[in-house]
Amino acid sequence: MRHKIKLNCEKSRLVDLRAFLNKVLSKTTLSEITKNQVILAVDEVCANLIIHSHDCNPSDQIALEVTESGDQLVFEIKDHGEGFNILEYKQPELNAVKKERRKGGLGIILVRKIMDNIEFESTGNQNTCRLIKLINSK
């Protein structure tokens, strides 16, 4: 299976992203809870790109491709511009988030906890973030 969607970099498009993922994942055997987790992780990465890499500029786009092969689901998110390397991001401690009254930083923690593998690569101007979920894992 292979499904693609392109999103303009607006926060209001996240709801379309989730509707797309819901439809795609309805054909899998994932439990409702795992499905929600996976949708959440992809939402978090896309929201990060839309807000931090693209300053919510609606003329910028990010592309998502979902493929199911064997025992894994792969979510490949591509954008152009200054890359956000999720692997290099130093995630905050939960207590520090509370003490500093900060609202950000939780998304990446969620992505790392939910996904089985995360890859990031930058080639020229194009960045690719690959989120991999093993089916029947966790």
Partner 1 sequence: MLQIDIREENGHVILVLTGEVDASNSVDLDNAIQGLIQPKKKIIMDGSALEYISSAGLGVFMSYLEEFETNEIQFVIIGLNSKVFNVFHILGLDQLITIKTNKEEALQELYEA
Location of structure tokens 């029947």: 136
- Binding of partner 1 by 104 (CB under 8 A): yes
Of 57-65, 72-80, 81-89, 93-101: span binding partner 1 (CB under 8 A): 93-101
Examine residue 94 and tell whether it contacts partner 1 (CB under 8 A). yes
Of the candidates 52, 69, 51, the one whose C-alpha atom is nearest the C-alpha of residue 2 is: 69
58 counts as binding partner 1 under rule CB under 8 A = no
For residue 46, the minimal CB distance to partner 1 (Å) is 9
72: closest CA among 6, 138, 4? Answer: 138
Site string for partner 1, 10-49 (x = CB under 8 A): -xx-xx--x-------------xx--xx--x--xx--x--
Cα 75 to Cα 35, 59, 70, 94, 114: the distances in Å are 13, 23, 14, 27, 13
Q: What HEC string does 22-39 produce?
A: HHHHCCCCCCHHHHHHHH
Residues that bind partner 1 (CB under 8 A): 11-12, 14-15, 18, 32-33, 36-37, 40, 43-44, 47, 50-51, 94, 97-99, 101-107, 109-110, 113-114
